[in-house]
Structure 1
């Protein structure tokens, strides 16, 4: 059996989630429900659950407040629930957290719990801290996992990103190249900034670091590196850069 706790400040949302779990997942026992930070911390501490269904926004704080008040070693897994469909979803996907979008759908719960059954993992504190820092930076940073550590990088410090198969090389103002395990399209979705533009299928550039460009499709970046735009996209990219620089 899997013991679970629901942390949710809306009783109707809690009851809805509870009904789906009882109907479709008899192997999960709900050990309790809490609607505020203090009660949530106390309940998790006393019940020692395998899973915590955790709402990101609570009336008196957030799910982050709950986790921050617990011991650094958390033997349970967290399944975030959220009504936000924009950055939080992309960030959670990027950090490979389990999460459910509200209103919760039965098929989504099944998919998430199936993944949990396969992994049966505990909560990753380093991953959580990187995720939390990225959200609190108000979409101005990206966090890269490299050489067994999480590195936070401001968008403004990224010069350009270059595809390398299923990986992406991220070049920054410190003269370093960070290697992300995410492909370039995923990096583009995470950054989601008007200052970044896909000038080539293999290059995503920070337009604020374009020092010079020519009608022949040559971009000179702030670090001195040059990027050649493909002939097929050359006119479109050059016209876009011209308009951007004139603003």
Structure 2
């Protein structure tokens, strides 16, 4: 499997030991190199996120760590590359960010680091579950988080909907929320619904959304409104742009 990535590096960064290995890695395709988070974000399609964003900012005056961490929602794995021990501490305080400390002393070390990050992507890409089949038996299966349009709670069961399938399992929305807590595209908006912001077809005033595959709009519960507004801000911009065309 080939992984896509973009690189953000400041102008004073030379060819580091990591970059030397990355450039020779046949499993990674570099789709762009940028000098700031803002520049990179403009180029990213939220429906086609890069697998990795490698951040190689050694000059703290270019952009702060806090500014760079907003990149998390634009990739499956945000990876900081740094030889600065103070920066290491700031990054490792956030367990949703990966750190590659420089220097990389061997290809074996490079391979081990990338393998760990790939495994983390796999963990956060799939949802594994035991589903209830109509004939009464159970079956262990999985689906991509990216394929989910919405998740509906009904009694003791959850129904996980994609464009092509529905999976029913004995579970709760609290369990699902724990699995998707680091994802910004799946958000709980109602006591019975977790939705994908990419499946929003349109917004209905005062505060409801029409989800692809669901016949009736879903109202946004009061206790979920803050996270909802944070999650859908960019989706609203996308839909506004489509409606203007």
Calculate the TM-score normalised by the size of structure 1.
0.40
Which structure has the larger Rg over C-alpha atoms?
A: 1
